[in-house]
Structure 1
Amino acid sequence: MPDSFVIQPRGERSAASVAEASPERLRMDPAFGPLLAHLDDAVTDVFVNGAGGLFVDRGNGAEPAEGWRASEREVRDLAVALVGLGGRHLDDQAPCVDVRLDSGIRVHAVLSPVSTTGTALSIRIPRVRAADLDTLAALGAFDASQRVWLLGLVAERANILITGGTGTGKTTLLSALLSEVPSTERIVTIEDVAELRPRHPHHVSLEARQSNLEGAGAITLARLVRESLRMRPDRLVVGECRGEEVRELLTALNTGHDGGAGTLHASGLRDVPARLEALGALAGMDAVALARQAVSAFTIVLHLDRAPGGTRRIRQAGRLVIAGDRLDIEEVQPW
C-alpha cells in the first residue's frame, strides 16, 4: 500500500482547499474492531506491541493511543483474524506473515516468542484514491517547477530510481508518476506485496508469493521480473529492490525497456551506490559490472525525505556515474 503524504498548511491555503486535496479514506473491515476507536482519518500506520501498547502515526511519528487495553491473547487473536482476511494462516509453524488485504491495507504480524515482547502487528493504511501529482504538489512534496520537470521525465520515458527511508512517500510518488503515463501504454508492476495503485487503464500488477509450509510454491521477485518481459510491458516497474531482482531489473532497463522505474531504501543520496552494490552482490554481480549496468539503466535518482513537520518531499536528485570503476552519484539541480 502506498506511503501517504501528510497534509500541511501552506501559505494561504484554506481548510476547504486542504479537504479537497485529501483523498478519501477506507472503510475498515469489522475484524479491525478493537482498533477502530483509535483510527481517525489522519492515521496512516498502526503498531501493536503485544500487550504493551498501541501506537498510531498521523504523520508526525508514532504516538501512544490513550485508553488502549488488550491482553497478549487478544492481540494474537486480532493478528490471526487480520492475516486471515488476506488469505494467509498465522500460527506457530508460520509465525511471521506479511499480507495485503483486498482494500489495499498491508498487515505484518510476528507472533511470540519470535517477537519477544508479545505479538507484534504493523498495519499500513492507504488512501482509497492514489494521489496524483497535483495533490502531492498541494501537500508540499515538490514545487511547481519540480512538477513540470517530473512530467517531462514521464513524457521522455526516463528510467527513474526513487530512494528514501521508510515512510518517505516512495510508493506514493511512483504511483502518481505512473498515473501520468499515456493510456495507450501497458504498465507492469512487480512487488513483494502489491502496493502500487496508479490511476491507469492498463496496469498489470504482479505480486511475489512466499513458500507454503512444505517449503514449496515460492515465486520470487527475480522470477516475476523475468516473466514480465514476456508480457510486452511498455513500462516495467519493480516496487522495491531488496535482493537479486536488481540484476533482472538492470538487465531489462538496459535492453530497450525505457520508462521503467524502481524504489530503493536508502538513508541519503550518497548512500545509493553502496546500497546498489550490496544488492548486486546478492545477485552475484561484482562492483564493476554493477556500476556499468546501473549507470546506463537509470536516467535519474530522486531522493525523498520526511521533514520534521511530517511533510514528505523530494529532497535531492542525482545521476549515477562511474568513478574509478566503482558506482558513484553526483547531485544535480535539474529543475
Structure 2
Amino acid sequence: MSLLKRIGEPGAGVGVPPTPAAGVRPSAPPAARPATPMREPDQARVAEIRRKVQERLIETIDPRSDTNNPNLIQRQVDELLSSVLDSEAVVMSRSERARLLEMILHDITGLGPLEDLLADPEISEIMVNGPKQIYVERKGKLQKTTTTFLNDEHAMRIIDRIIAPLGRRVDESSPMVDARLKDGSRVNVIIRPISLIGPVITIRKFAKERITVDDLIRFGTVTREMVDLLAACIKARLNIVVAGGTGSGKTTTLNILSSFIPEDERIITIENAAELQLRQEHVVTLESRPASIEGTGEVTMMDLIVNALRMRPDRIIVGECRGGETLAMLQAMNTGHDGSLTTLHANSPRDAIARIETMCLMAGMDLPIRAIREQTASAVDLIVQQARLKDGSRKIVNITEVLGMEGEMVQLQDIFVFEQTGVDENGKIVGRLRPTGVRPRFLEKFEASGIYLPPGIFGSGDRFI
C-alpha cells in the first residue's frame, strides 16, 4: 500500500480544476503566479515549505504502510515536495531541493534537525532549550546554532523516536527521562510542565572513533608518566575512583583505564544508561530500569551491584555512583573484588571523600560517619581527579593516593598535580602536570604483581602542556 494518498484525491491537498459545463464558454484562466526563485539564505521560506510538507505528511501518511523502506519513503516524499513547490510557485536549485528533501526525510526516519549536529565530529554536546533554541559545545566552547525544531510537537516526535526503542517513556506524569542513542551517546530529556520553555534535550555525544591513550597525551590531558602509572595501577588491581565535574571527561577516562584490564578477566559494568565502550571480549553490561507507569518493575543500581557479586566478576565497573549504591560499591571493593572502578561528581579529591560519605548515608542505613570513613579508606586506593578548565580543555589535575585513617580523617597524598602557570595569547591555559616527588605506598602491590616502574617517574621533572 502506498505510504501517501495519491496526489489529487480528496483530502490530498492538491485541487483538480473543474470541467466547464456544456455550452458555457470557459473564461480566460487567471494569470499564473510568477515563480519565486529561492535564494540562500532564505531560512524563513525553507521553514515554511518544510512545515507545509510535514503537515501534508501527517494528513496523508498511511499508518499501515512500510515505513522501514527508505527508497519508498524517499520517492513518495519527493513526490509530495514537488506538489507543494508547484502549488507555492517556488523555484529551487537542485542542491537546495536536495537539502530540503534530506531535512524532511530526517524528520520521518531519523532525529530531524539533530541529525546534522550529531554527524559533526567537532560537536561534543547538543543542548536543545525548547524548539527554537539549540546550542552546541564545539572545542569546549558553547555556540548557538541556526538549527531549530518547528514547534513543541516536532521536538516531542523526535524524543519519542529516541526513547521508544529503550522501553522508556516521558509524559506529564513522568516528565524526565535518561536514555541513549544507538552509538551510546547519553541523552537527558525534560518536558512540560517541569520545563517552562518546552522540551529540553541534552545529548552528550560519543566520538565516532574511540579515543586512545595517545589521543589523551596529544590533547594534554595526561603525560606519558601518568599513563604508565595508571596502567600499572589497573594491572595491580587497585580500586580507583574517577572524580570530576559535569562534562570534565570522567567517562572517557574510565574507558581508557578499563582498556588496561587484561583480556582474560570477566568484567561486569553497571550503569543507569549504558555508555561505556570496553574493548575486551568478556564483558557483561547491566543497565538499571525505572519503574513502570504502575510503579512496578524498578531495578536500581544497588540491586545490580548486589546481583553482580553473584556473577563471578573479576572486575566491577560502576558507570557513576550517585546515591545509596555507593555503599554497595564500597562493600564490593572490600570483599575481594579488587580492581573495581567507578566515577562520581566532585571538585577535588578531598571533596570526593566527602561525597562518598554523603552518598553512603543515602542508602538509608544508620551508620556512624567513622564507620563509613573506615570503609572508604580501606576500599579506595586511588582518586583520579578530572577537570574542565576555563578554556574548555580537559585535564587530569590530580592523581591522589588514599593512605588510610589518621584519627577521624581519611588521609590523602598527591602523586601528580597540575599547576597553571598562565594563559597564552589565544586564551589557552598554560600549565604543567608534575610529579610531587612522593613515592606511593601501593608500590608494594606493584612489586607483588611483578610490575616495576622507572624510579624517576615520581620526580623526574616537569612536563609542560
- When normalised by structure 2's length, the TM-score is 0.63
| Superposed displacement of residue 69, structure 1 | 5.3
Question: Does residue 177 in structure 1 map to residue 260 in structure 2?
Answer: no
Task: Give the secondary structure class of the aligned counterpart of 1:37.
Answer: helix
Could you tell me whether the CA contact under 8 Å between 2:172 and 2:193 is conserved in 1?
no
Could you tell me whether the CA contact under 8 Å between 2:121 and 2:207 is conserved in 1?
no
1:331 maps to 414
Could you tell me whether the CA contact under 8 Å between 2:175 and 2:191 is conserved in 1?
yes
User: What CA deviation, in whole Å up to 9, does each residue of 1:223-250 have, x standing for no partner?
Assistant: 1111111111111111111111111111
User: What CA deviation, in whole Å up to 9, does each residue of 1:194-233 have, x standing for no partner?
Assistant: 1111111111111111010011001111111111111111
Please give the alpha-carbon distance, in whole angstroms, between the structure 2 residues aligned to 1:257 and 1:236. Answer: 7
Question: Does residue 43 in structure 1 map to residue 95 in structure 2?
Answer: no
Please give the alpha-carbon distance, in whole angstroms, between the structure 1 residues aligned to 2:233 and 2:258. Answer: 11
2:111 maps to 32
Could you tell me whether the CA contact under 8 Å between 2:149 and 2:155 is conserved in 1?
no
Residue number among 140, 144, 148 corresponding to 1:68 in the alignment: 148
2:375 maps to 293
> Would the alpha carbon gap of residues 329 and 54 (structure 1) be closer, same or farther in structure 2, given more than 3 Å must change?
same
1:35 is matched by which residue type in structure 2? L
User: Which has more radius of gyration?
Assistant: 2
The count of aligned residue pairs is 308
In the alignment, structure 1 segments of 5+ residues that lack a partner are 1-27
| Superposed displacement of residue 186, structure 1 | 0.8
In the alignment, structure 2 segments of 5+ residues that lack a partner are 1-105, 417-438, 440-457, 459-465
Q: How does 1:310-325 map to 2 (within 5 A)?
A: 310-320=392-402, 321-325=404-408
Could you tell me whether the CA contact under 8 Å between 1:187 and 1:233 is conserved in 2?
yes
Please give the alpha-carbon distance, in whole angstroms, between the structure 2 residues aligned to 1:303 and 1:76. Answer: 37
Could you tell me whether the CA contact under 8 Å between 1:51 and 1:118 is conserved in 2?
yes
Please give the alpha-carbon distance, in whole angstroms, between the structure 1 residues aligned to 2:214 and 2:116. Answer: 32
Please give the alpha-carbon distance, in whole angstroms, between the structure 1 residues aligned to 2:294 and 2:339. Answer: 39
Could you tell me whether the CA contact under 8 Å between 2:132 and 2:148 is conserved in 1?
no
Could you tell me whether the CA contact under 8 Å between 2:255 and 2:276 is conserved in 1?
yes
What is the RMSD computed on CA atoms of the aligned residues?
2.0
User: What CA deviation, in whole Å up to 9, does each residue of 1:274-299 have, x standing for no partner?
Assistant: 21111011122331111100111111
Bigger mean CA deviation after superposition, 303-312 or 173-182: 303-312
Could you tell me whether the CA contact under 8 Å between 1:44 and 1:57 is conserved in 2?
yes
1:109 maps to 189
| Superposed displacement of residue 119, structure 1 | 1.1
Bigger mean CA deviation after superposition, 69-78 or 136-145: 69-78
Please give the alpha-carbon distance, in whole angstroms, between the structure 2 residues aligned to 1:124 and 1:173. Answer: 15
Identity among equivalent positions (%) equals 35
| Superposed displacement of residue 107, structure 1 | 1.9
Could you tell me whether the CA contact under 8 Å between 1:50 and 1:117 is conserved in 2?
yes
Please give the alpha-carbon distance, in whole angstroms, between the structure 1 residues aligned to 2:163 and 2:340. Answer: 32
Please give the alpha-carbon distance, in whole angstroms, between the structure 2 residues aligned to 1:74 and 1:113. Answer: 17
Please give the alpha-carbon distance, in whole angstroms, between the structure 2 residues aligned to 1:69 and 1:220. Answer: 34
User: What CA deviation, in whole Å up to 9, does each residue of 1:276-323 have, x standing for no partner?
Assistant: 111011122331111100111111101001133322211012233434
> Would the alpha carbon gap of residues 229 and 68 (structure 1) be closer, same or farther in structure 2, given more than 3 Å must change?
same
Please give the alpha-carbon distance, in whole angstroms, between the structure 2 residues aligned to 1:289 and 1:86. Answer: 39
Q: Which has the higher contact order (CA 8 A, sep 6+)?
A: 1
Question: Does residue 204 in structure 1 map to residue 284 in structure 2?
Answer: yes
| Superposed displacement of residue 123, structure 1 | 1.2
1:199 is matched by which residue type in structure 2? R
